[in-house]
Amino acid sequence: MERPEVSDGERAFIAKRRRLRIIIGALLGLGLVLGIATGIDSARIGSGGAISPGVAVIGVIVMLAGVLGGSWFYFREIDELDLRDNLIAATVGLYFYALVYPCWYALSRGGIAPKTNPEMIFVATLVVVTLTYFWKRWRP
């Protein structure tokens, strides 16, 4: 059986999808390398989670370059619908953070809630952004 002819549009779509997978894979790989490096450094100095200043600086530089560069490449490759979904998810995440932190802070200052936990708010914000993105993407 012969393979059907692939149009130029289909070739472009396949190439774009491949580039997106490479970008996402590279960013995941970069995160994995950073996580392993900080874990090894933390175990090496035996500090219960702390890392050496050199590893911290290198990690921050690599993370900034990876997130900023990766975002630039990613947003060049996606279509307008995916861009819209990203914009909505980022906006919802910003609203979530802008509401949760000051409310929690005010309640903690009033003695009603425990002291604010920035790591928990950061992770919760990422979860909200991710859930919003996939909700917008899969919802017609």
Query: Is residue 74 located within the same domain as residue 131?
Result: no
For residue 27, give every residue at least 6 positions away whose Cβ sits within 8 Å of its Cβ, in sequence order, or none: 66, 70
Per residue in 104-129, is it b (16+ CB within 10 Å) or e — as a string? beeeeeeeeeeebeeeebeeebeebb
Tens of pLDDT along 91-130? 999 999 999 999 999 999 999 999 999 999 999 999 999 9
Query: Is residue 84 located within the same domain as residue 74?
Result: no
- Sort residue 2 into left (φ over 0), alpha (ψ -120 to 50) or beta: beta
Per the structure, the complete domain to which residue 44 belongs is given by 1-78
Number of domains in the chain: 2
Residue 52 CA, chain-centre distance (Å), reads 24
Domain boundary, last residue among 78, 100, 123: 78
Query: Is residue 84 located within the same domain as residue 136?
Result: yes
Q: Which residue has the tokens 């289909």?
A: 10
Query: Is residue 56 located within the same domain as residue 90?
Result: no
Tens of pLDDT along 37-89? 888 887 777 766 688 888 889 989 999 999 999 999 999 989 899 999 999 99
Query: Is residue 4 located within the same domain as residue 65?
Result: yes
Rg (alpha carbons) of the chain, rounded to whole number: 21
